[in-house]
Chain A
Amino acid sequence: MREKIQKIRENFELEFRQFQEIDFLRLSLSDAEGLMRNLQEFKAKHTGKKSEIAEAKKLIKEIPPEERAEFGRSVQEAERQMLSLIQEAEKRLKDFIAETKIRRETLDVTIPGFRWRTGHLHPITILRQKIEDIFVSMGYAVEDDREIENDYYNFDALNIPEGHPAREAQDTFYTTKGLALRSQTSTVQIRAMERRGVPIRIIAPGKVFRNDTPDPTHVPMFHQVEGLCVDKGISMAHLKGTVAEWLRRLFGKETKIRMRPSYFPFTEPSAEFDCSCFKCSGTGIFQDEKCRPCKGTGWIELGGCGMVHPNVLKNCGVNPEIYSGFAFGFGLERMCAMLYSIDDIRLMFENDIRFLRQFR
């Protein structure tokens, strides 16, 4: 009997060698899976119900009673040892398979996620919307009107009579029918006052046109925002406060503004308004060098403003002895260029997607 068990063990060990001497370094996943399947078969063969060891167990009846206990122990011992060897091999293979699979399915988590390319609004739109939001929250109505105007609205009503140097200086586009492409959004001041009367608070963003040769700081079509506030008792202090307020909301709390005397036919007194440079915070120096946007002055010129000229009020049927008001205007392209450090505003109308995609 003992020999028989010995024989079984020897047969087992001989066949088991293939599972014991696996060269895991050279083993492929599919070979490992094959071996795993073989191991299952092997397990069934050597430890299953029809295995030799199972057969051997049945022989216990033929063993003399006094030897039965010992026989039983040795059979069980042999069975236990074989099973344990198999289980060890099983674990080794299983671990190998699991590890290989993980290694194989490991992702490069740095690859871009799957999403459709998104588009971008034009920087002028982005800025216009921000400015509209600020003014609407300050009680202003957004107005717009014709882009093709007649000389009355483009010039005369704005106190720019024929022969006025300002009328000459602006290279106005004219249609063959004698109409003008509006050269400033101030035209909307007149239209809106005619329509709404006073008191009035409006801003008017829109396109304007000047027959200027395109260069890095000039384009024949650009966008302006015009602001107008007419009421009883409106003063230049209100103008300054309003301009300062919206610029602080747009550029940040620390923004300072200043006004310098200037000249526009439709305002009196008139002023240019500047804000402290948002790059160098008004110091004129950025990273130990002369600040570029403000040319080292600490100030950025933004636009023109002033108290609405009495002739303009009269032209709209408003009595300047009762009402006063302020107006201001500025170019969006210029502000955009300053805000994003764009050195050539012609880029705004080329629609190069490499440009457009830089703005959100």
Chain B
Amino acid sequence: MNISYNWLKDLIEIELSPYELAEKLTNAGLAVDSVERFGDDYVLVFDLTSNRSDCLSHLGIAREVKALTGKELKLSYNDPEVASARTETADNLETKLNASPCGLVTIEAPDLCYRFTARIIKNVKVEKSPEWLIRRLEAVGERAINNIADITNYVMHELGQPMHAFDLDKLTENRIVVRRARKGEKIKTLDEVERNLDETMLAICDAEKPVAVAGIMGGFHSGISENTKNVLLEVAYFDRNSIRQTSRKLKLSTEASYRFERGVDIENLIRASDRATELICEIAGGEADAFVDVYPTKRSELAVSLRPQKIKTLLGYDVEVEEIKRILSLLGFKLKDEFSNGLSFVVPSWRHDVSIEEDLVEEIARILGYDRIQEEIPPSFGAGEYQPSEERKRNLRKTLANMGFDEAISYSFIDASHDARFEIVPNLVNENLQEKFITLMDSIIEGAVRMRPTLLSGLLDAVRTNFNRGERNLKLFEIGRVFAAFDDKEGAFPIERELFAMVITGGLMLEGRALPTREVDFYDLKGALEASFEALQLPFCEFVEKDIKHLRKGQSALVKVGGKEVGYIGRLSDGISEIYKFRQPVFVAEVDLQTLLEFEPVKPIYQPLPIYPSIIRDTAFLVKGNVNFAQIKESLEKEAFQNLSKIEFVELYQGKELAGDERSLTIRFEFRSNEKTLTEEEAEESHNRIVEFLEEKFGIRKRF
């Protein structure tokens, strides 16, 4: 909102420069974004908080200046009390009924239109506004239209009250009916758009049809034109919610609706009407005629009490009772009562934001300035707490960073087309549900309406982004929540679960060196995942060969920790790679971090150091088909061969001299006794038994 410095000076004496004024107002809670020169004037650009609708005018700001400087307002025209005293005896005033006796105004919906004033002004001459008026409107960012419209705008910016001028002769039967629109009624508004109204909307009508959308915009046909002779000036107060809802429904927001929905001063209508009438008569040469004020829904006076002790409690400092009275009275609050431990004040009709004691405390605090508040630390309380899993998660992050992984954070909403592409981590999705995932009504990002059930789509987007920017060697991880439906019921909270995912592709890089040492493979990612589990102090993990939807057959595994299925690892399938246009292998892993963190951290238990030396045998086996290292190791451990203390993988070799599905698997056996130093012969004997056992059990042959 723009305020003209010169205009403001018409309303109150100001000794401060525009810049000083801006700072003072900002420190009182009326934030001035900038001060701009405008000819011989300055414009203060405000960024007001939504509660201060009373400040959406020069009068409103002048009231704040008064409270801050103690200067009196100098309005050249009637104040509200004088105005109402005059109208009390004049014309056809009737405020008790819903309609004026002469029938000029009828309010059929007093729940939506609390008060309506109408003034007839005759024999106006519609033309261009005088230069001073145009300049003032330009200063606050309004475009001049014609003298009548400009005056209504002018008074709105001056006094904060939106108003509308009708061409009286265009109103059927020359009268106004304020009612809800009827189903199917239409109106062409001033912006020349045909709008459909419904029964929830308040319309200003003539005897037949809507002539304005109440509080939002006037109708095109009943508007002021060059030929207008007689004017009906509407100054009214409408229900805030009604205006807001209609404005949303019509997708039409105006300076008027903006003010009405935030709340204008219902006791300011007559003054605003008088001010506009005065200006119209002066500038457009009209003659003031009949005036009616229909006020069926009275505003009830609100009194709020304030205990000085509350000020001390909330602000930490004392304010003298006299000082409280002085500040609040400058702001327009009237002292109503004084008790032994407090005061009671009547809230001015323009302050929609004050209703409780704390609000009054804030009024005092902001006028005295928040600088007055001291800095104190609350008395100590107890030890702080991290989230229980924080230490393990920090270990995990540090471990990953040390292994070269950069941390990604992706948006939680993704394209729904990803649904069918990825296998979701075990036990997240309830397959029995109609709608398994969480969907947004709409999203600012095109198509991204699915709350992600997997982190992989975000990481793969990151891979694509980096590829497009020429970075092909990537190691990324993300820790974040995914979402899935818990049940079908309306309002049931969904499952939110924290997952951990990784992606690697390209070469293994050294710091500061341009060329990779080699290309990454499955085992690089598996190693990183194993290291992550170690960082999380998890029990034993297993990798079970399994076909997974988004992974390439033969290079994918189900990941189990402590016997629980927690996720998948492998090489991204060719199908998905194609969708992303990846031309190099990409390896991904995703596991259910939340489930992993439910395992108690495994604490190391000391093993006595061996006393006697060991004997080592490295043996290569010819392995075929579906025999794998884990099976061999497991079966040997189960057999518990004498003196066999350790089984370690050495190498897996696939060479030209071997048949298609044959591999050479080299295993290291370590033999050791806890009682004595083994002899070569004893070790050899154990080793031979092992070789025999494996040949018998798996049909695998020793190569050398």
Report the separation of the CA atoms of residues A307 and B358 in the bound assembly, to the nearest whole angstrom: 9
Identify the closest chain A residue to B52 (Cβ): A263
Report the separation of the CA atoms of residues A220 and B466 in the bound assembly, to the nearest whole angstrom: 22
In the complex, per-residue mask of A135-155: 1 if CB is within 8 Å of any chain B CB, else 0: 111111111101110100000
A262 interfacial by beta-carbon distance below 8 Å: yes
Do B384 and A140 have beta carbons less than 8 Å apart?
yes
Do A240 and B496 have beta carbons less than 8 Å apart?
no
What are the residues of chain B within 8 A of A236 when measuring CB–CB?
Answer: 314-316, 365, 373
What are the residues of chain B within 8 A of A348 when measuring CB–CB?
Answer: 409
Minimal beta-carbon separation of A112 from chain B (angstroms): 3
Minimal beta-carbon separation of B17 from chain A (angstroms): 17
B508 interfacial by beta-carbon distance below 8 Å: yes
B127 interfacial by beta-carbon distance below 8 Å: no
Do B462 and A351 have beta carbons less than 8 Å apart?
yes
Do A259 and B381 have beta carbons less than 8 Å apart?
no
Minimal beta-carbon separation of A96 from chain B (angstroms): 35
A90 interfacial by beta-carbon distance below 8 Å: no
What are the residues of chain A within 8 A of B469 when measuring CB–CB?
Answer: 352, 354
Minimal beta-carbon separation of B97 from chain A (angstroms): 29
A117 interfacial by beta-carbon distance below 8 Å: yes
Tell me whether A122 and B409 are in contact in the complex, defined as CB-CB below 8 angstroms, given that A163-B241, A233-B313, A269-B366 are known contacts: yes
Residues of B354-370 at the interface with A, using a CB-CB cut-off of 8 Å, are: 356, 358-359, 361-362, 365-366, 370
Of B273-281, B385-393, B598-606, B612-620, the one with at least 4 CB within 8 A of chain A: B385-393
Report the separation of the CA atoms of residues A135 and B29 in the bound assembly, to the nearest whole angstrom: 28
Do A141 and B373 have beta carbons less than 8 Å apart?
no
A89 interfacial by beta-carbon distance below 8 Å: no
Please report the total number of B residues contacting A with Cβ < 8 Å: 98
Residues of B221-242 at the interface with A, using a CB-CB cut-off of 8 Å, are: 240-241
B410 interfacial by beta-carbon distance below 8 Å: yes
Do A148 and B494 have beta carbons less than 8 Å apart?
yes
Identify the closest chain B residue to A166 (Cβ): B50
Minimal beta-carbon separation of A335 from chain B (angstroms): 15
Report the separation of the CA atoms of residues A137 and B400 in the bound assembly, to the nearest whole angstrom: 26
Contacting A176 at CB < 8 Å: which of B313, B383, B439, B466? Answer: B439
Minimal beta-carbon separation of B555 from chain A (angstroms): 23
B401 interfacial by beta-carbon distance below 8 Å: yes
In the complex, per-residue mask of A187-220: 1 if CB is within 8 Å of any chain B CB, else 0: 0000000000001010000010101111000001
Identify the closest chain A residue to B477 (Cβ): A119
Identify the closest chain B residue to A126 (Cβ): B407
In the complex, per-residue mask of B4-20: 1 if CB is within 8 Å of any chain A CB, else 0: 00000000000000000
Do B494 and A258 have beta carbons less than 8 Å apart?
no
What are the residues of chain B within 8 A of A173 when measuring CB–CB?
Answer: 413, 440-441, 443
Report the separation of the CA atoms of residues A328 and B512 in the bound assembly, to the nearest whole angstrom: 43
Report the separation of the CA atoms of residues A32 and B390 in the bound assembly, to the nearest whole angstrom: 66
Report the separation of the CA atoms of residues A349 and B442 in the bound assembly, to the nearest whole angstrom: 20
Minimal beta-carbon separation of B28 from chain A (angstroms): 6
Report the separation of the CA atoms of residues A270 and B33 in the bound assembly, to the nearest whole angstrom: 19
Contacting A220 at CB < 8 Å: which of B380, B404, B411, B435? Answer: B411
What are the residues of chain A within 8 A of B248 when measuring CB–CB?
Answer: 168
Do B511 and A214 have beta carbons less than 8 Å apart?
no
Report the separation of the CA atoms of residues A255 and B261 in the bound assembly, to the nearest whole angstrom: 41
Of B485-493, B572-580, B664-672, the one with at least 4 CB within 8 A of chain A: B485-493
Do A112 and B513 have beta carbons less than 8 Å apart?
yes
Do B29 and A165 have beta carbons less than 8 Å apart?
no
Identify the closest chain B residue to A234 (Cβ): B378
Minimal beta-carbon separation of A270 from chain B (angstroms): 7
Besides A117-B511, A119-B405, A148-B496, 20 more A-B contacts (Cβ < 8 Å) are A117-B510, A119-B404, A119-B475, A124-B409, A129-B394, A138-B384, A139-B382, A142-B386, A142-B390, A147-B481, A150-B493, A165-B51, A176-B440, A201-B384, A221-B411, A238-B377, A241-B377, A262-B29, A349-B411, A353-B474
The 24 sampled A-B contact pairs (Cβ below 8 Å) are A118-B402, A118-B404, A120-B407, A122-B408, A132-B386, A135-B384, A139-B384, A140-B384, A144-B387, A146-B493, A173-B443, A176-B439, A177-B490, A235-B376, A263-B29, A263-B50, A268-B358, A269-B314, A269-B358, A269-B365, A269-B366, A351-B465, A351-B466, A357-B406
